[in-house]
Amino acid sequence: MGMRQIKRKAGAVLVATALLTGVSGFAAASSAQAAEAATCWGTNVTNNSSLETTMKGTYNLKVGVGAVCANVRSVSSGSTFYVWCGAINPDSGVLWFLGRVKGDSTSNIGYMSSDNLNYVSGTWSYC
């Protein structure tokens, strides 16, 4: 193989490597961007728990499992939140509870991050 052919093959290898690296870099960026796009997760509506909690601060009750979900309503610090069941957010790994605020009707249920709650009594089960 002559020097000229080696240079051509080396050039072709470099171009191919650059293309593959560029393509895989693009795929990695797309995957990372997809991972960052959080989802509003839903669960089965199940009332199988006896956990009673209070709010650590004022937070929004959500329509699904995740901070990106729409709000049901704001819940004031110190309010009692009755947990119906719990679910792990697949995006963040955070435990969220489905339930209702004391005084609200059972038609006004929603999800609250466990990070926002203080334990009072009882236990919980998965939705």
pTM of the model: 0.71
| Highest CATH level, class, for 52-121 | mainly beta
- pLDDT tens across 72-86, in order? 999 999 999 999 999
What are phi and psi for residue 73, nearest 5 degrees? -170, 165
Confidence tier at 23 by pLDDT (50, 70, 90): very low
Residue with tokens 């709010």: 55
Query: Which percentage of the chain shows pLDDT scores above 90?
Result: 69
> Would you kindly state where each structural domain of the chain is located, as residue ranges?
1-37, 52-121
Residues 6+ apart with CB under 8 A from 48: 84, 85, 125, 127
- pLDDT tens across 101-111, in order? 999 998 899 99
The Cα–Cα gap between 118 and 70 comes to 23
15: left (phi over 0), alpha (psi -120 to 50) or beta: alpha
